[in-house]
């Protein structure tokens, strides 16, 4: 049966090439539908006790995200006229942060006082540029007596102060990432300006939204560097071992097509990518390459034994189709097993990779023959570089 299927695939390779290309183009439209979910909640199941507790708290009070700005002045003194001027100006700047609804700092902290029947509430720092030494001493004494100021906005050593920005970010995962990116971009600019205008000052910011943005940046950087590096090294090794530019080109096509199909199907099915599931393309790359190498190695061997290119491809598909199918199915089942995890992020990663494994198998059998046979290849009677080693290893194992 494998022989008849292999013969049909090779004889109708142009038809399969056209059909596969059209299918890939249709799937590619789904890539535009992919959203990104960087919310930490996606790492926990709906019935997770800790997540349910957090949801109940946010439902009763307010669902808000915070970013904390930390400033360590060069003179290590928070209660200093120059530092308080910077804090006051920074407070105004942070109010302009996208999606901000509140900013807490030493400068706008509310100080209450009473005299006779008059109760007064005013900012701790009215105008930092007009402060006298006595005013600064009064502010310092008040801060030392206020538990929140002493532990929340000013360090015990009085050399670091914090500004807390409360945010109301969108809860929709698709809208949240652009909002977080915009917010973090603004804060990065604020941080850069502070450092530039105040040499010696240390400025940092942290919080849940900034962590989300950092996770996305880390994954993007890895994909932008590691994936191309992996591809280049793999193709160099393939070229050295197979000694066939056509085979390397065919492998490149299968990797690209498999990933396009996988990401397209991900979009059509409504999945949102997470930092975890963004590793799926690398897994698909590895598995698609493995499928291609199996078929191409046997194809090259059969072709160098005197068979025509068409017959060599039929021989290769006939001998490799069933083993690759079984390997792909068992690999897909293994990744689908991630659905037993408590984390939805791993469910998505497993499902997306499982789809990619099966797409890689299908296109190795339908797309690869048409691509490889479309290019000329000269027979080379020399065995592949690893052939003597593998023959010796096989004899050793069989004994």
Instruction: Render pLDDT for 68-106 as a digit per residue (tens, 0 to 9).
Output: 999 999 898 888 899 899 999 999 999 999 999 989 888
pLDDT at 128 over 60: yes
Higher pLDDT: 240 or 282? It is 282
pLDDT digits (tens, 9 = 90+) for 284-342: 988 998 898 888 888 888 888 878 888 888 888 888 889 999 999 999 999 999 998 88
Q: pTM, whole model, 2 decimals? A: 0.73
Work out the average pLDDT over 264-274: 88
At 305 the pLDDT is 80
Cα distance between residue 112 and residue 122, in whole Å: 6
SS (H, E, C) 344-367: HHHHHHHHHHHHHHHHHHHHHHHC
Domains of the chain, earliest start first? 2-44+243-389 (1.20.1640.10), 65-167+169-213 (no CATH)
At 149 the pLDDT is 83
Q: Which residues make beta-bridge pairs with 102?
A: 166
Q: What percent of the chain has pLDDT over 90?
A: 23
Work out the average pLDDT over 358-369: 91
Higher pLDDT: 204 or 173? It is 204
**Phi, psi dihedrals of residue 128, rounded to the nearest 5°:** -60, -25
Average pLDDT of the chain, as a whole number: 84
At 189 the pLDDT is 94
Cα distance between residue 64 and residue 60, in whole Å: 12
At 356 the pLDDT is 94
pLDDT at 280 over 80: yes
At 358 the pLDDT is 94
At 95 the pLDDT is 93
Residue 195 and residue 201 in contact, taking contact as beta carbons nearer than 8 Å: yes
Q: Which of 5-14, 320-329, 344-353 is the least confident region?
A: 5-14
Residue 299 and residue 312 in contact, taking contact as beta carbons nearer than 8 Å: yes
Q: Which of 50-54, 117-121, 137-141, 296-300 is the least confident region?
A: 117-121
Higher pLDDT: 101 or 213? It is 101
Cβ-based neighbour number of residue 294 at 10 Å: 18
Work out the average pLDDT over 174-188: 87
At 275 the pLDDT is 80
At 303 the pLDDT is 83
Largest CA distance in the chain: 109
At 399 the pLDDT is 66
pLDDT at 136 over 70: yes
Q: Contacts for 140-148 with beta carbons within 8 Å, 24 or more apart?
A: 140/79, 142/111, 143/79, 143/106, 146/109
CA 157 to chain centre: 39
Work out the average pLDDT over 227-235: 80
Cα distance between residue 118 and residue 103, in whole Å: 27
Q: Which of 39-53, 108-122, 300-314, 352-366 is the least confident region?
A: 108-122
pLDDT at 381 over 60: no
Cα distance between residue 143 and residue 135, in whole Å: 12
pLDDT at 398 over 80: no
pLDDT at 379 over 70: no
pLDDT at 61 over 90: no
Q: In terms of DSSP bridges, do strands 65-72 and 202-207 run parallel, antiparallel, or are they unpaired? A: antiparallel
C-alpha triplet 127, 132, 133: angle, nearest 5°: 130
pLDDT at 47 over 90: no
Among residues 20, 285, 240, the alpha carbon closest in space to that of 248 is found at: 240
At 261 the pLDDT is 92
């Amino acid at each position: 049966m494998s022989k008849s299927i292999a013969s049909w695939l090779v004889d109708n390779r142009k038809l399969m090439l056209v059909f596969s290309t059209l299918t890939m183009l249709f799937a590619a439209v789904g890539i535009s539908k992919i959203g990104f979910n960087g919310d930490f909640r996606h790492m926990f199941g709906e019935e997770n006790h800790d997540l349910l507790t957090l949801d109940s708290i946010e439902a009763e009070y307010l669902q808000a995200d915070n970013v904390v700005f930390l400033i360590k002045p060069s003179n290590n003194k928070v209660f200093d006229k120059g530092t308080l001027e910077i804090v006051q100006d920074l407070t105004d700047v942070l109010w302009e942060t996208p999606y901000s609804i509140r900013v807490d700092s030493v400068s706008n902290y509310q100080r209450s006082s009473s005299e006779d029947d008059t109760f007064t509430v005013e900012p701790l720092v009215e105008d930092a540029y007009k402060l006298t030494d006595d005013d600064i001493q009064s502010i310092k004494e008040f801060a030392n007596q206020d538990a929140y100021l002493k532990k929340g906005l000013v360090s015990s050593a009085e050399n670091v102060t914090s500004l807390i920005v409360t945010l109301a970010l969108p809860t929709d995962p698709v809208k949240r990432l652009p909002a977080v990116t915009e917010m973090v971009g603004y804060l990065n600019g604020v941080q850069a300006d502070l450092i530039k205008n105040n040499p010696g000052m240390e400025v940092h910011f942290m919080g849940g939204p900034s962590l989300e943005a950092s996770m996305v940046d880390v994954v993007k950087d890895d994909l932008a560097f590691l994936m191309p590096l992996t591809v280049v090294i793999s193709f160099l090794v393939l070229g050295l071992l197979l000694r066939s530019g056509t085979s390397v080109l065919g492998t490149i096509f299968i990797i690209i097509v498999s990933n396009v199909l996988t990401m397209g199907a991900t979009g059509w099915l409504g999945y949102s990518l997470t930092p975890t599931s963004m590793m799926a393309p690398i897994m698909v790359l590895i598995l698609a390459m493995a499928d291609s190498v199996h078929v191409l190695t046997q194809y090259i061997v059969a072709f160098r034994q005197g068979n025509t290119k068409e017959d060599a491809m039929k021989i290769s598909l006939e001998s490799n189709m069933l083993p690759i199918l079984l390997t792909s199915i068992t690999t897909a089942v293994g990744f689908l097993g991630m659905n037993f995890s408590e984390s939805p992020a791993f469910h998505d990663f497993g499902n997306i990779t499982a789809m990619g494994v099966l797409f890689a198998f299908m296109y190795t059998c339908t797309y690869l023959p048409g691509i490889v046979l479309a290019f000329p290849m000269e027979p080379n009677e020399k065995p592949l570089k690893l052939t003597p080693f593998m023959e010796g290893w096989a004899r050793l194992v069989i004994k």
